[in-house]
Amino acid sequence: MSVRLLLALFCLAVVLFAAAFGYFGLALPAGVNGESFVQIPPGAGTRRIAAILADDGVIRSRYAFDLWQVLRGGTLKAGEYRFAGKARLPEVYERLRRGDVYLRAVVIPEGFNVFDVARAMESAQLSSKQSFLAAARADAFLIADLDPGARSLEGYLFPDTYRFERRETPDQILATMVKRFRSAAGSIGLHSDYRRTVTLASLVERETPIAADRPQVASVFENRLAKGMPLMTDPTVIYAALLENRFRGAIYRSDLERDSDYNTYVHAGLPPGPICNPGLASLEAAMHPAKTTYLYFVADPAANGHSSFSTTLEEHQRNVAAYRRGRRAATSSAQTSPQPSR
């Protein structure tokens, strides 16, 4: 009877220990206050993953994790994971089995140039600005079949909302954005003459935020090119200054007179490449400009961002005068409007 009692007590102890182990390791939630980011390296085995999770406080027991892997099976995926609050070990395991990695969202609006994109990547903690800019120049080979003479990927980083893992390199990020450009270009039938089309589209993109005006703006540029007239567009002057790291937030006379290939006040024709990354509407406008005789345009302050177009210099000068009057009136109104009490 004593042997049987001892055996029974031993079995009971084992059961109680297993139950406690299971409850502590599997059922009892673990986690840290706030949020925790855990990086699972490629090729890591289950034991190493368990150790990483336990060291970061995401799970209570690495041994319980090993046991659950034997019971549950499946392949655990590498990547960065975000854990917020407490979770049971099986829930953590399922996230790694699904590959529910944490992705950082980056919004690239239409008209962002490569400098803007680099700042956006730096803000998202995906790359330093300088590393991204260097990669954008070094990776010009990604578009060698589209634009053999491209100096960088400017113009071919398609505006969109992207989601990247933090461990992705600038090269991988750039490849994704170029792939998105290829898809978008194909969707609107852009299959040739990429540099000219994208360069013209980038000028259109920077000159007007109104999609309906873009075919007319493109027609102005095409008409001026056909007559050998300089395009005289300010965004190219700004871009020239950005390339030389001397943009001061405004355009000065010295900028307008500077002998840069991108200065369309000094050099006739299109600049040597795109000055920003245009969206679909601007690409389509560059591919299909409106049929007009317009040679000039200026913003119309009374038309909610639309432009006023003209064929003759005299008409353009009248539109410019109206634009200046509208600006002065708007400034005066803002200065005389009652200020809210503090």
Confidence of residue 31 (pLDDT cuts 50, 70, 90): low
| Sign of the Cα pseudo-torsion (307, 310, 313, 317, in order) | negative
Assign 3-class secondary structure to the chain. Answer: CHHHHHHHHHHHHHHHHHHHHHHHHHHCCECCCCEEEEEECCCCCHHHHHHHHHHCCCCCCHHHHHHHHHHHCCCCCCEEEEEECCECHHHHHHHHHHCCCCCEEEEECCCCCHHHHHHHHHHCCCCCHHHHHHHHHHHHHHHCCCCCCCCCCCCCCCCEEEEECCCCCHHHHHHHHHHHHHHHHHHCCCCCCHHHHHHHHHHHHHHCCCHHHHHHHHHHHHHHHHHCCCCCCHHHHHHHHHHCCCCCCCCCHHHHHCCCCCCCCCCCCCCCCCCCCCCHHHHHHHHCCCCCCCCEEEECCCCCCCEEEECCHHHHHHHHHHHHHHHHHHHHHHHHCCCCCC
Question: Is a pLDDT exceeding 90 seen at residue 135?
Answer: yes
Mean pLDDT of the chain: 88
Q: What is the pLDDT of residue 26?
A: 65
Burial of residue 58 (CB within 10 Å: 0-12, 13-18, 19+) is buried
Q: What is the pLDDT of residue 264?
A: 97
Q: What is the pLDDT of residue 28?
A: 73
Domain borders along the chain are 29-102, 104-187, 194-334
Q: What is the pLDDT of residue 167?
A: 85
pLDDT tens per residue, range 207-264: 999 999 999 999 999 999 999 999 999 999 999 999 999 998 999 999 999 999 999 9
**Over pLDDT 90: what percentage of the chain?**
73
Indicate the residue type of 296.
Y
Confidence of residue 338 (pLDDT cuts 50, 70, 90): very low
Which of 17 and 109 is assigned the larger pLDDT?
109
Q: Which long-range contacts (CB under 8 A, 24 or more apart) does 237-240 make?
A: 237/262, 237/263, 237/264, 237/265, 239/113, 239/271, 239/275, 239/276
Q: What is the pLDDT of residue 3?
A: 64
Give the whole-angstrom CA distance, residue 96 versus residue 73: 12
Which of 6 and 62 is assigned the larger pLDDT?
62
CB 18 within 8 A of CB 65: no
Q: What is the pLDDT of residue 247?
A: 92
Question: Is a pLDDT exceeding 90 seen at residue 312?
Answer: yes
Question: Is a pLDDT exceeding 60 seen at residue 20?
Answer: no
pLDDT tens per residue, range 138-158: 999 999 999 999 999 999 999
Question: Is a pLDDT exceeding 80 seen at residue 304?
Answer: no
Q: Taking residues 20-47, what's their average pLDDT?
A: 74
Q: Taking residues 270-297, what's their average pLDDT?
A: 97
Using alpha carbons, list the distances in angstroms from residue 260 to 112, 141, 254.
21, 24, 11
Q: What is the pLDDT of residue 27?
A: 59
Give the whole-angstrom CA distance, residue 274 versus residue 199: 4
pLDDT tens per residue, range 178-210: 999 999 999 999 999 999 999 999 999 999 999
Which of 14 and 254 is assigned the larger pLDDT?
254
Give the whole-angstrom CA distance, residue 148 versus residue 125: 31
Domain 29-102 sits in CATH at: 3.30.1490.480
State the distance between the two ends of the chain, measured CA to CA, in whole angstroms: 89
Question: Is a pLDDT exceeding 90 seen at residue 175?
Answer: yes
Question: Is a pLDDT exceeding 70 seen at residue 305?
Answer: yes
| pTM reported for the whole predicted model | 0.82
pLDDT tens per residue, range 72-114: 888 999 999 999 888 899 999 999 999 999 999 999 999 999 9
